[in-house]
């Protein structure tokens, strides 16, 4: 009497369903994360060109100040006065002592006194790590 062994379908193919699920979850994660980062850079500001500018690497504790062409200050996407901006910077410096970074983004047609006002607010708040951002010359 002969015995039959059912060998099955070993190596017939890969199960793609779990891999597709993981890819979709990663896509959703990165879409949500990119939307949260856009909130600080939503103000329509035309940055001046700089040929020696390097790409900005985002640090987790940076504070973004936007200045439009009329000299209005924005903390992230919220309009603020210079006094409110100073208070926000003082609070940010207290929350992150010695590690607070500030990015000043000003429209290329903004008067220089508004940029200096933002830089002065950083100095008064005790923030040493501030920089004025410019667009890369392409």
Its CATH class, for the domain covering 43-136, is alpha beta
The pLDDT, as a whole number, for residue 14 is 73
Residue ranges of domains in the chain: 43-136
**pLDDT tens, position by position, 52-96:** 665 544 444 688 999 998 989 999 788 999 999 999 999 888 888
Mean pLDDT to the nearest integer, 116-122: 92
Backbone torsions φ then ψ of 58, nearest 5 degrees: -75, 125
Each as own residue / partner, the long-range contacts of residues 78-85 (CB below 8 Å, 24 or more positions apart, any chain) are 82/117, 82/118, 82/121, 85/118, 85/121
Phi/psi at 131 (nearest 5 deg)? -145, 150
């Amino acid at each position: 009497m002969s015995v039959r062994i059912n060998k099955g379908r070993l190596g017939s193919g890969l199960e793609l369903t779990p891999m597709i699920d993981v890819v979709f979850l990663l896509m959703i994660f990165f879409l949500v994360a990119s939307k949260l980062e856009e909130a600080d850079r939503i103000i329509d500001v035309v940055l001046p060109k700089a040929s020696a500018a390097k790409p900005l690497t985002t640090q987790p504790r940076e504070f973004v100040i936007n200045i439009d062409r009329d000299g209005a200050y924005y903390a992230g996407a919220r309009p603020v006065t210079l006094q409110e901006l100073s208070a926000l910077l003082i609070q940010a410096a207290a929350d992150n002592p010695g590690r607070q970074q500030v990015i000043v983004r000003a429209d290329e047609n903004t008067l220089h006194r508004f940029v200096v006002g933002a830089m002065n607010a950083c100095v008064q708040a005790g923030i040493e790590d501030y920089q004025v951002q410019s667009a890369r010359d392409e």
